[in-house]
Amino acid sequence: MFQLPLRRLLLASLALAPLAHASRADEGMWLFNRPPLAEMKARYGFDASPEWMEHVQRSCVRVSTGGSGSIVSADGLVMTNHHVASDILEKLSSKERNLIEKGFWAAGLADELKCPDLHLDVLWTITDVTERIEGAAKGLGTAEAGAAKRKMQTQIEDEAKQARGLHCEVVTLYQGGRYHLYEYKRFEDVRLVFAPETQSAFYGGDNDNFEYPRYCLDATFFRIYENGAPLKAENFLRWSANGAADGELCFVAGHPGSTQRLNTVAHLEYLRDFAVPRATTRLMRAEVWLQTFSGRSAENARIARGDLFSVQNSRKVYVGRLSGLLDPQLFAEKRAAEEKLRAAVEANPEWKAKWGNAWEKIAQAQATAAILAPRYGAVGQGALSLGTDTFTFAKDILRLADELGKPSGERLREYGDAGLDALKNAIYSPAPLYPEFEMMRLEMALSGMAEALGGNDPIVLAALAGRSPRARAEECVKGTKLFDIAERKRLVEGGKAAVDACKDPLIELARALDPFSRQMRKKWEDEVTSVERENYAKIAAARFAVEGEKVYPDATFTLRLSYGTVKGYEQNGAPVKPFTTFGGAYAKAEERATEAAYALPKSWLDAKSALQLETPFNFVSTHDIIGGNSGSPVFNRAGEVVGLIFDGNIQSLVGNYGYSDVQSRSVSVDSRGILESLRSVYKADRLVAELEGSRAKR
């Protein structure tokens, strides 16, 4: 299941997208301010009007837990995936009321549950600010230029937020070739309306993750509230009466997290030989720790479920990525495309003078990254993260005290004025915290740091303070007062004086590691990030000169449009049909009756006679998606919902580096399957009526 952040195997040989290319087939994660109008018109005869594009843009939401969603009623009803919502469901759960296991349905508006730590962003405007950012760096050296660009990004965000009051982000596109200001309407009063049991949402469990056929009701509904009442949405996607048909053109609008399709060959080699294997090893290690913790009790399993799912999911993704990077055909195509672009640059003296050294500079940056990465990663890649909630509070409290004394543009980027409200809301989160789980996660991080760097490394010595990882974690978690929201508020509001005087062991741990983190962050930004941004901007300029601006940028967890068709594929010489049905789910349960992952929940067993078993349940399509697209709506030419993205098949996992429509497929819940399950299994008549266009009964 696709989701962000880190939350198969050997792939069949695929015709992957080259480094620089005109798009082919149904490829592309397209910007909303530069949609593929000509391609859609030529391939499918579809004209996407500006009004259609704006309506879709303002009907979609970015979910703060790391996924996508859409507004699907005039009363602010939002649809996303159960696995995107699972973090919130866990925070609303307790030992006595387990919403993950049992599900939830609000019979009336008054029963809808307010969600902690959740906000939804609707993209309102996009502005190209490339000239301002490039202008701030004019005439400066590489490191100084990188710092100047980061400062200007913060300045632009602060100015825009002050002028219009929206949530503002400057987004880096083409790895530095363009910069766009995205302004969002942010909604923070979000309430849970419906979630099924995990057993139906994640039917087949880890066994079936990234597989097809599937039989999952991976859907959850929230509602946006504004001024204490349901949002009166001006833009929303209506529900299709008929769903999608085999071969039908449809669209996906969502927030793909990240891709590296425009990377140089040297950069891909760094990922293949260093970054991806290291990440895979870390995930496998974390999976063992989380399984051990979960195995100690049913309550531990409930507490750790979200982390374990995320790690298992990410581990499969990274194994799939590594398999793709080890495919010689991928590198052959990437190398050929790169050589073609470089030859065009070399043949033009002016281009050669401006852009000719960019590839070597990026290769040098990757060599530097390989040296810096172990220490940079050991202290949270500049973010100073050790994977626990309470340490994150400590780090943010400590850094806020230091950063707020500086002008906004001179702070670490995440502490600029434009983001302070969201940061403080996170620090004051009322979500439940579990000391034993916090202790285990901190011990896991500290021992992992020692394993990566060695016991005598200064970072490790500072972190452990003469204790074992277990003893240090126990000391910090048992001794901290940061489980108390009031104490967190006291320290934030007390500023630097209060934090400097604080001897809380987690604050002390953050204080001990902060200098190392800042030092490594500066080195990474100066010697890796700034070099990449400067030289990828040159490569982007070369690509634009050769091909024009018809190449979509890599994914950046910002709103993108993909188009494609409902379409099956072949696997192992046999056809895979595009649709599954409810009847198939019951047949699967009978076939795998001895396996817990395939047991249908009681609600489904009781409802079998009431269900229309021929109803389409899940389907596959050729849409180009990646992690972060989870929860994206699938909709037709009329802008009507026909499905809900929740996964990709195993062949899609190489999509981080390229795309093929031969076997790669996105996997969705069919809109007809969602309605039928709501009506016949859960008796959620109010929700059904709202989705079908009737006003909900109050």
What whole-number distance in Å separates Cα of residue 314 and Cα of residue 554? 19
Name which of 358, 356, 282 is nearest 315 in CA terms. Answer: 282
- 30-119+188-261+553-691 has which fold? Thrombin, subunit H (2.40.10)
Tokens 């859409």 label which residue?
A: 70
Tokens 């434009």 label which residue?
A: 418
What whole-number distance in Å separates Cα of residue 90 and Cα of residue 65? 12
Kindly write down the DSSP assignment for every residue of 315-382, as one continuous string.
HHHHHHHHHHHT-HHHHHHHHHHHHHHHHHHHTSHHHHHHHTTHHHHHHHHHHHHHHHHHHHHHTTTT
Q: Which amino acid is at 353?
A: A
Angle between helices 435-453 and 469-479 (to 10 degrees): 140
What whole-number distance in Å separates Cα of residue 138 and Cα of residue 22? 31
Q: What are the C-alpha distances in Å from 63 to residues 29, 364, 470?
A: 18, 37, 35
Residue 2's pLDDT is what? 54
What whole-number distance in Å separates Cα of residue 288 and Cα of residue 230? 43
Per-residue pLDDT tens over the stretch 241-253: 899 999 999 999 9
Residue 19's pLDDT is what? 34
Residue 697: pLDDT over 70 = no
What whole-number distance in Å separates Cα of residue 124 and Cα of residue 122? 6
Per-residue pLDDT tens over the stretch 571-613: 999 999 999 999 999 999 999 999 999 999 999 999 999 999 9
Q: Which amino acid is at 688?
A: V
Per-residue pLDDT tens over the stretch 117-127: 999 999 999 99
What whole-number distance in Å separates Cα of residue 17 and Cα of residue 26? 11
Residue 22's pLDDT is what? 41
What whole-number distance in Å separates Cα of residue 190 and Cα of residue 228? 10
Per-residue pLDDT tens over the stretch 500-542: 999 999 999 999 999 999 999 999 999 999 999 999 999 999 9
Kindly write down the DSSP assignment for every residue of 475-487, as one continuous string.
HHHHH--TTSHHH
Residue 18: pLDDT over 50 = no
Q: What is the mean pLDDT of residues 480-497?
A: 98
Per-residue pLDDT tens over the stretch 141-188: 999 999 999 999 999 999 999 999 999 999 999 999 999 999 999 999
What pTM did the predictor assign? 0.92
Name which of 263, 274, 257, 281 is nearest 330 in CA terms. Answer: 263
Residue 12's pLDDT is what? 27
Residue 100: pLDDT over 60 = yes
- CB-based burial, 474-483: b 16+ in 10 Å, e otherwise: bbbbeebbbb
Tokens standing for 483? 């489980």
> Residue 27: what are its φ and ψ, rounded to 5°?
-75, 150
Residue 1's pLDDT is what? 60
Q: For strand 560-565 and strand 569-571, is the pairing parallel, antiparallel, or unpaired?
A: unpaired
